[in-house]
Structure 1
Amino acid sequence: MSTISTWDELCFQNLSEIDMSLDHVLERIVRFISKDPKGAYQFVIGTDSQVHRGQTKFVTGIVIHRIGRGAWACYRQLAIPRQLNSIREKLTLETSFSQRVAGYFDSKAVSRMEEPLLPYLYQGAMLETFIDIDAGTEPVVNKTAMYVQEMVDRVEAMGMYAPRVKPDACVASSYANRFTKNRMVR
């Protein structure tokens, strides 16, 4: 597995921009929030993966959702040149990649996102932070159910982010998922 050594190597993209550093992503998020500082926001990070022949593709999505009034999002892709052997390994890596990105968006970065909202806190402005875990709690439907608590505990141990699982984990299970379908060629 390739390792990521610096924040600069984490390049994100969306349908209109490519090669965005995490600093650029933070600037885009602050700009998005500043356009409507009276809004309620959810900042969400989530990762999904898809096994392809000879590799596993991981996609980590970052979404700032203005509840009821749009969102700005971006994602990064990473391919590991092997197929994963277990659901637990898949979930562990997905959660680790989300935590890695969340590590950049520490209390200082989240404070920058909150700055435009401060004058409007008593008028409903707010920012919630989440890490979406691509796992569900229904054992009959989800093979991931037996690992949910382990992943939730990992996210809760970070202290700043609330974990969300299926069906609420839409950044992992929907947004990131759509970009995992095509095989990456490296």
Structure 2
Amino acid sequence: MVNDIRFQNLQERNMSFEDVFNRILKFMNRNQRGNYRLMIGTDSQVHHDYTLFITGIVIQSEGKGVWACIRKVSVPRKMGRLHERISRETSLTEEIVALITEEKKNRMIDIILPHIYHGATFTMEGHIDIGSGKKNKTKIYVEEMMARIESMGLEPKIKPNSFVASSYANRFTK
């Protein structure tokens, strides 16, 4: 099943998760003293006869750039119910996070570990395309979705701080 999951970005298509993970390691090895944020988030768009989900994976070296890719999943029906769609977005994010095993986390941490006393950092975030504002229809799902992301070992981020889901992934849902 893991081999069926494919990713792409503007430079490459048909990447496996192992390919993606190796690109992340390569990016981190360029500056082992960096401040890294590994961010994963999903957004969706209901189209005429299908619903498109885009999961973004972004590794950011603060002030030094990013490497990113997406995964597309199409559901062959209109998913009109907001809770169902947001729950599916969160599930797709969780699916990718589950591929980041303890061994993989340790490999990323090992890159910056010798440099933590010089300011190197590494965090993992789950970006959820929901907000807690008064007028936001998704505010009633904030606690539920944040708890799910937190249970996966990630720091949950919602709007306006969930830009991987609400901006990066969103670009590719149209």
Q: Please, what TM-score do these two structures have when normalized by structure 1?
A: 0.92
1:177 aligns with 2:170: yes
Q: Displacement of 1:127 after TM fit?
A: 0.6
Q: How do 1:16-27 residues align onto structure 2 when only pairs under 5 Å count?
A: 16-27=11-22
Matched, 1:162 2:160: no
Q: Distance in 1 between matches of 2:8 and 2:131?
A: 28
Q: What's 1:3 paired with?
A: none
Name the structure 1 match of 2:3: 8
Deviation at residue 139 of structure 1 after TM alignment: 2.6
Give how far 1:50 is off.
0.4
How many corresponding residue pairs?
174
Give the match's secondary structure for 1:100: helix
Query: For 1:94-121, what per-residue CA distance to the aligned partner results, in whole angstroms no more than 9, with x for missing partners?
Result: 0000000000012221111122211111
Distance 1:49 1:106 in 2: 26
RMSD, matched Cα = 0.8
The structure 1 segments of at least 4 consecutive aligned residues displaced by more than 3 Å after TM superposition are none
Q: Percent identity over the alignment?
A: 43
The one-letter amino acid of 1:129's match is M
Q: Which sections of structure 1, spanning at least 5 residues, go unmatched?
A: 1-5, 182-186
Q: Secondary structure at the match of 2:129?
A: strand
1:46-80 per-residue CA deviation (whole Å, 9 max, x = no partner) reads 00000000000000000000011100000010110
Question: What secondary structure is seen at the aligned counterpart in 1 of 2:98?
Answer: helix
